[in-house]
């Protein structure tokens, strides 16, 4: 997996203008104190991760984000015909390629859910063009997965859905605390992903409008998504 690696933490630099080293000799003293690249995004550090968790406990933070869901199509059927170790290896490849595409455009890999991933853009690393970055990340995921021989030979593909808008961040649940985003934007992105075919990226009108000129050639049509009373217009990226 090839990931563009920043020498300093992008989160600390953007939020506090403090150049916290992540890699190289200058990072060694910081690692002694447990400051190292975050697992959610290796271009941010564990300081950002701790701040992220503390802030999220407020459960009342609303931020403008883009949300991406990617699902490995054909995985369930394939898992019934191949040895478990082969199937697990394919899932590892999928996670790695998704992570690389998401992190390249400063997204946060928030969840891995079976054969799907959920990513959030514009938090904690903020970009005014986060919708366009999400579209670019989705295309990069498709490109990376399309180059994998394992997927081509097995007939596996990836379906992706994207939406942009306000989401609430927090730690939700009682017996099990889950740090994540909730809201209509998350639900819509998930449903768009469900409607996407293998190799397809479907985005909402909000993403289409905000990601110009990345989406200028995209074509839209109405989809009846589960849980929505009226059809939703989605655009193929």
pLDDT in the model for residue 2:
52
Q: From the first residue on, what is the mean pLDDT of each consecutive set of 10 residues in the chain (237 residues)?
A: 74 79 89 83 79 56 93 85 84 92 92 92 89 97 90 86 91 63 93 96 98 92 93 94
Alpha-carbon distance of 78 to 70, in angstroms, equals: 18
The pLDDT of residue 177: 58
pTM above 0.95, yes or no: no
pLDDT of residue 195: 96
Please say whether the beta carbons of 138 and 160 come within 8 A.
yes
Q: What is the pLDDT of residue 204?
A: 98
How many of the other CB atoms lie within 10 Å of CB of 109?
A: 22
What does the pLDDT read at residue 172?
64
Q: Are the CB atoms for 161 and 202 separated by under 8 Å?
A: yes
- Exposure of 206 by Cβ count < 10 A (0-12 exposed, 13-18 middle, 19+ buried)? middle
State the pLDDT at residue 153. 76
Query: What is the set of domains in the chain, with CATH numbers?
Result: 10-56 (no CATH), 61-236 (3.30.70.1230)
């Amino acid at each position: 997996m090839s990931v563009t690696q920043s020498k300093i933490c992008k989160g600390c630099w953007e939020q506090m203008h403090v150049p916290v080293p992540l890699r190289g000799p200058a990072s060694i003293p910081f690692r002694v104190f447990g400051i190292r690249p975050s697992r959610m995004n290796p271009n941010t550090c564990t300081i950002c991760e701790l701040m992220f968790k503390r802030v999220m406990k407020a459960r009342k933070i609303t931020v403008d984000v883009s949300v991406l869901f990617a699902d490995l199509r054909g995985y369930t059927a394939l898992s019934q015909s191949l040895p478990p170790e082969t199937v697990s290896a394919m899932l590892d490849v999928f996670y790695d390629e998704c992570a690389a595409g998401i992190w390249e455009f400063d997204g946060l890999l928030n969840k891995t859910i079976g054969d799907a991933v959920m990513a959030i853009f514009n938090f904690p690393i903020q970009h005014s063009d986060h919708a366009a970055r999400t579209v670019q990340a989705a295309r990069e995921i498709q490109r990376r997965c399309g180059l994998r021989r394992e997927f081509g030979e097995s007939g596996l593909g990836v379906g992706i859905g994207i939406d942009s808008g306000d989401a609430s961040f927090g730690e939700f649940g009682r017996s099990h605390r889950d740090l994540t985003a909730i809201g209509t934007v998350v639900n819509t992105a998930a449903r768009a992903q469900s409607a996407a075919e293998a190799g397809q990226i479907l985005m909402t009108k909000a993403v289409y409008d905000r990601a110009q000129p990345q989406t200028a050639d995209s074509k839209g049509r109405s989809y009846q998504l589960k849980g929505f009373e009226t059809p939703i217009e989605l655009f193929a990226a």
